[in-house]
Structure 1
Amino acid sequence: MSLFSIFNVAGSGMAAQSTRLNTVASNLANADSVASTPEAAYRSRQPLFAAVQKQLGSQAVDNGQGVQVLGVTESQAAIPSRYEPGNPLANADGYVFSSNVNPVDELVNMISASRSYQNNVEVMNSTRQLMQKTLDLGK
């Protein structure tokens, strides 16, 4: 692996973790939202990642090695309901349906994503310093 491909790997990891942080922020923003039907309730979202590895002699992958965001999926966990007959969004039986976001899980995801992002930044900085020191040897 060349030093330049390290930048591609770390950069794709940073982009993936940025997507993860954005979905965590969206989930936390909608954690307390309610709806009148289970179908309309906000569902927790999670990004799907895939490792991309270019094989020798292969031109199938343009970005080389790294992480690719395949998309964002919605949780299929049950939607909790609460009895709130005074709520304007309550259905005919007096129930509202809240999101299935678990704020504790989302905070753990946020800490993990920010640490992964920070690690990728450190990899890029270490690689840049290594390249700079290699160039200084030629002086």
Structure 2
Amino acid sequence: MSIPQILDIASTGMAAQRLRVQLIASNIANSETTRTKEGGPYRRKDAVFQSENLGFSGALAAAGVKVASIQTSQEPFLTRLEPGHPDADADGVVSYPNVNPVEEMVNLTEASRAYEANIAVVRAAKTMATSALEILRVQ
């Protein structure tokens, strides 16, 4: 595998995790949003990944990752009895987003670590390329 192939694979992983972090940030920011343009509370969003063919042959034919879709959660909303809330129904029940901030923080940590792992791959590839140039220069 060549250095450019390694960098291509790592960059797809970094791009995918960057989008995932953006979705997690949106989920956390909207965890109390009871009214959206579409109507009703905010629905949690998550990225669905799949392998991507970067044009390599052989064993690496399906190297890399891409975002296949952004999935909107269909889990039921959380409900609270708040009769004075402007978005309460006739019974005084308010529907809140199906976002668990603790779960989102765990997902954020996981996405950040995956991003950092891809950065480590890029750094290792850079070190290998630098070492190869040093070997060529010596001889």
Question: What range describes the TM-score normalised by the shorter chain of this pair?
Answer: 0.7 to 0.9
Question: For residues 28-67 of structure 1, what are the structure 2 equivalents within 5 Å?
Answer: 28-35=28-35, 40-53=40-53, 54=55, 56=57, 65-67=63-65
Deviates more, 1:26-35 or 1:103-112: 26-35
Contact 2:56 2:63 in 1 (8 A): no
Decide whether aligned partners of structure 1 residues 55 and 124 sit closer, same or farther in structure 2, where only a CA change above 3 A counts: closer
Question: How many matched pairs?
Answer: 132
Alpha-carbon shift at residue 111 of structure 1 (Å) = 0.3
Distance 2:83 2:120 in 1: 53
- In structure 1, the partner of 2:119 is 121
Bigger helix fraction: 2
Structure 1, residues 46-83: CA drift from partner, whole Å, max 9, x if none?
Answer: 101001134638xxx9xx73111112101111112211
The alpha carbon displacement at 1:120 in A equals: 0.4
Q: What is the RMSD of the two structures over their aligned residues, measured on CA atoms?
A: 2.0
Which ranges in structure 2 are unaligned for 5 or more consecutive residues?
A: none
User: Structure 1 regions of 5+ residues with no counterpart?
Assistant: none
Structure 1 stretches of 4+ moved >6 Å: none
Query: By how many angstroms is 1:5 displaced?
Result: 0.3
**TM-score, normalised to structure 1's length?**
0.87
TM-score, normalised via structure 2 length = 0.87
Identity over aligned residues, as a percent?
37
Residue aligning to 1:84: 82
CA distance in 2, matches of 1:115, 1:25: 16
Contact 2:7 2:122 in 1 (8 A): yes
Q: Distance in 1 between matches of 2:128 and 2:75?
A: 47
Q: Is the 8 A contact 1:5 1:65 kept in 2?
A: no
Report the Cα offset of residue 31 of structure 1: 0.9
